[in-house]
Structures are given as C-alpha cells and as structure tokens.
C-alpha cells in the first residue's frame, strides 16, 4: 500500500499533524485539510485513495462529507474518527457509507489497519457477497435474544429502551451486549455495527 494518497480532515491542528506524521512515516502521501469544505473546494487537486475525517467539525460534518463523496460518485473510502462516540453515531456513519468508525483515542495500529483494509477492499459484487457471507458467519452463533438486542442497538436505542422493549432489565441487556462482543470477536461496538450492517440486519 506504499505510495497511496491519504487525505486527513480535522479541525484540530495537533491531531492533523499527528495523523499526517504517522501516515507519512508509514509510506503514504498525505494532504491535510482543516474542514471538509476546504477539501471539497480542492477536490480536483489529484487522485485520492482514502479519506480520514473527524465527524464533528465546524461547517460540514464528517457524516455530511461521506454523503457528498457518495453523491459525487467519488470512489474513495472514508474512515471516520470521533472523540464523542456512541452506538447510534456509529450506525449512522456505517449506513451513510463510511468504511470504518474509530473512537479517539485509538492505537496507531488500529488506524493503519482500518486504512489498509479500506485500500484492499474492492467494490466488485463478488467481494461484497463474500463480505456479507463472512459477516453472516460471525453472527451465526448468536441466540435469538442476542439478535433482538443487536437489532435494538442497530436502531440506535440505548440499553434502557432495549430493556423496556424486550421486557428485561438494563443489566441483562449489558450482559447480552458483552456476549455479542465475545461471540463475534470484536473489539468495539462500531466494529460490531459494521458486521451487522454488512450482514444485512
């Protein structure tokens, strides 16, 4: 993946510089922007292989940026990062078309892995089918009640609401959430949401 061009969009100058340095030393070409609007105004500056963008920024948000990229038919994966994560935001990001969703602070290797995975992905249908089958396989061992809880999470509901809907206690919902994480071998809720969405739940 050496030599690929990565765009970093973040209104935090320190974060921008830190990400640019990390990517540079790992062999990527890097361009940075303070806002999504600044990037879109300069979109003709050359080919882009992957965008890493903060979600919460002045003006256009990272979610809105994903929509713009899709609307303009720019075939470029977007990895979103945020310091204010919640499950509903992760779901919204994935449904909007982001390829990954990372919560700050994250380990450097996690970002590099997300970018490399995005660059390796191919937008062909067989690959999409393979990804769907793989996601379905990771969810195959879930019980019906665990699937019910997962559906609630996908709908952006908090534990108390899911508990009320299913007639169980919030503590029991927490246990089911832990089971979901363990059975699917994920490290974060956003990763679980990505698998569920890929599987078509």
Per-residue pLDDT tens over the stretch 130-165: 777 888 888 888 898 999 998 888 887 888 999 999
pLDDT tens sequence across 104-133: 778 888 888 888 888 876 454 445 677 778
Which structural domains are found in the chain, ordered by start? 5-120 (3.40.50.2300), 125-198 (1.10.10.10)
**Cβ burial, residue 33 (10 Å; 0-12/13-18/19+):** buried
CA atoms within 13 A on the CB side of 66: 23
Take residue 173 and report the two structure tokens written for it. 């919902």
In sequence order, what DSSP letters do the residues of 17-57 get, joined into one string? Answer: HHHHHHHHHTT-EEEEESSHHHHHHTGGGS--SEEEEESS-
Q: Residue 101: its pLDDT value, please?
A: 83
Instruction: Supply 197's token pair.
Output: 């969405």
Q: How big is the chain, counted in residues?
A: 201
């Amino acid at each position: 993946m050496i030599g690929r061009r990565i765009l970093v969009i973040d209104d935090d100058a320190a974060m921008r510089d830190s990400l640019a340095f990390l990517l540079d030393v790992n062999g990527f070409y890097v361009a940075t922007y303070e806002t999504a609007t600044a990037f879109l105004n300069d979109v003709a500056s050359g080919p882009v292989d992957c965008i890493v963008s903060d979600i919460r920024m002045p003006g256009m948000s990272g979610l809105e940026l994903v929509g713009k990229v899709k609307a303009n038919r720019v075939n470029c994966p977007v990895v979103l990062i945020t310091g204010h994560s919640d499950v509903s935001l992760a779901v919204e990001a994935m449904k909007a078309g982001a390829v990954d969703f990372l919560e700050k602070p994250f380990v450097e290797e996690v970002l590099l892995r997300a970018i490399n995975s995005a660059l390796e992905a191919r937008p062909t249908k067989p690959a999409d089918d393979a990804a769907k089958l793989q996601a379905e396989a990771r969810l195959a061992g879930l019980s019906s009640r665990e699937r019910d809880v997962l559906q609630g999470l996908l709908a952006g509901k908090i534990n108390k609401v899911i508990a009320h809907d299913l007639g169980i206690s919030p503590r029991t919902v927490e246990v089911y959430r832990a089971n979901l994480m363990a059975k699917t071998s994920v490290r974060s809720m956003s990763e679980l949401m990505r698998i569920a969405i890929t599987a078509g739940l």
